[in-house]
A and B are shown apart, each in its own frame.
Chain A
Amino acid sequence: MNTPTRPTIAIAAMLLTLLAASPAFAHTGGSIVGGLAGGFAHPLFGPDHVVAMVAVGLWGAFLGTPAIWLLPVVFPIVMAFGGVLGILGITIPWVETGIAVSAIVLGLMVALGVRAPLAVAAVLVGAFAIFHGHAHGAELPAAADAVAYSVGFVVATGLLHVAGIAFGSLTRWPVGQIAVRAAGGAIAIAGVVFLGVIG
């Protein structure tokens, strides 16, 4: 696994401050409109989205090279595919459930220290990316400036991954390993809470 440097830790601290979002669900049915700022804020103001994205970065950092960068490269593109389905009005059943389950599964992967093969990790993350993308895509037509909105939420999603990766790099220290796995557990629990709210 790659060992973090001080700049990496500093970046982690900065990015984690972005995650101090007020508790509100991201997918408000198109009420969040507008350009770049609106798109950027969209994933950040949804705890279900935030925890899952951070978990992707955490798990990538936990798995090490090449997963640490492959997952953040693959996820946005597969998410876009899910978004295309949402824009086209193609229904995917249980989208919100899938998002909540993504937090549970990815959180557990980190908490339990599961070192899955790269292909398995990529497929798992990709599958969840479709759910997240579909939810975003379904709300994209309501955005006033679709291009800027799209860029905004893709970048915000990517930065959440980076935050997860940066935090995950703390595993160089024994206490960091505990912290990272505890974070994974917390994410999994949050996913259960979201699942309960949806149900």
Chain B
Amino acid sequence: MTLSTSALVGGFLAGLIHPLSLTAHVMALLGLGLMVGQQSRRGVILAAFALGLMVGLAALAAAVGETRAPVVLLAGAAIAGLAVAIGCPVPGILAAPLALVVGAAVGLDSPPRAASIPAANAALAGTALAAFAAVALIAAITARLRREWPRIGIRVLGSWIAASAILVVTLYLTR
């Protein structure tokens, strides 16, 4: 394997791990995935998330400056978590924009740390794949839950996500 190939693979793997290694990202992806799983029109919402993700990552690739993406990400996690805790289907007109915003925030908050542009782009691709796969998988598992106690557990998890995110968003906004 040449140096450039190994750099690409390394960048891709680093990007793959990135959204799964940051607490805020995990909270947002988990909350959104659980929420999507409770909805009926999951395809539309997942498509919105993917679009937002692409927009956010493209903005990063275009060297957009510092943004408030971390706060937006946590706010999205809080809203998704509340929706999950309440357990009622969210209207598509609200769920899709939320997914779009969370996707964009995940993308914008995933700056690659690579030595070359190709490796950085590989990292962005890895991030896109990991983030979308995580949300889609969580949504698929959630949608298949039929028994009462696992569905209740999902709602408890949603409340935990919402509670954690609300606290940190408040902290960030007051700093």
Chain A residues near B (Cβ < 8 Å): 36, 69, 72-77, 79-81, 83-84, 87-88, 136-137, 140-141, 145-148, 150-151, 154-155, 158
Q: Pick from B156, B167, B174 the residue with the most CB of A within 10 Å.
A: B167
B residues less than 8 Å from A80 (CB atoms): 162-164, 166-167
Interface of A is mostly: helix
Question: B156 touching A151 by the CB < 8 A rule?
Answer: no
Chain B nearest Cβ from A50, distance in angstroms: 18
Question: A72 touching B167 by the CB < 8 A rule?
Answer: no
Chain B residues near A (Cβ < 8 Å): 23-24, 27, 74, 82, 85, 152, 155-156, 158-160, 162-168, 170-172, 174
List 20 other contacts, CB 8 Å, given A73-B158, A83-B163, A150-B164: A73-B159, A76-B163, A77-B159, A79-B163, A80-B166, A81-B166, A83-B167, A83-B170, A87-B167, A87-B170, A88-B170, A146-B167, A146-B168, A146-B172, A147-B24, A150-B167, A151-B160, A154-B160, A154-B163, A158-B156
Given A87-B174, A147-B74, A158-B156, are A76 and B162 neighbors across the interface (CB < 8 Å)? yes
6 nearest A-B residue pairs (beta carbon): A76-B163, A80-B163, A80-B166, A150-B164, A69-B152, A147-B23
**Looking at the complex, which one of B24, B163, B171 makes contact with A77 (CB distance below 8 Å)?**
B163
Question: A84 touching B163 by the CB < 8 A rule?
Answer: no
Chain B nearest Cβ from A151, distance in angstroms: 5
Cα–Cα, bound, A140→B169 (Å): 12
Question: B27 touching A74 by the CB < 8 A rule?
Answer: no
**Looking at the complex, which one of A36, A73, A79, A141 makes contact with B156 (CB distance below 8 Å)?**
A73
A residues less than 8 Å from B156 (CB atoms): 69, 72-73, 158
Question: A84 touching B85 by the CB < 8 A rule?
Answer: no
B residues less than 8 Å from A147 (CB atoms): 23-24, 27, 74, 164, 168
Given A36-B23, A69-B152, A148-B23, are A77 and B162 neighbors across the interface (CB < 8 Å)? yes
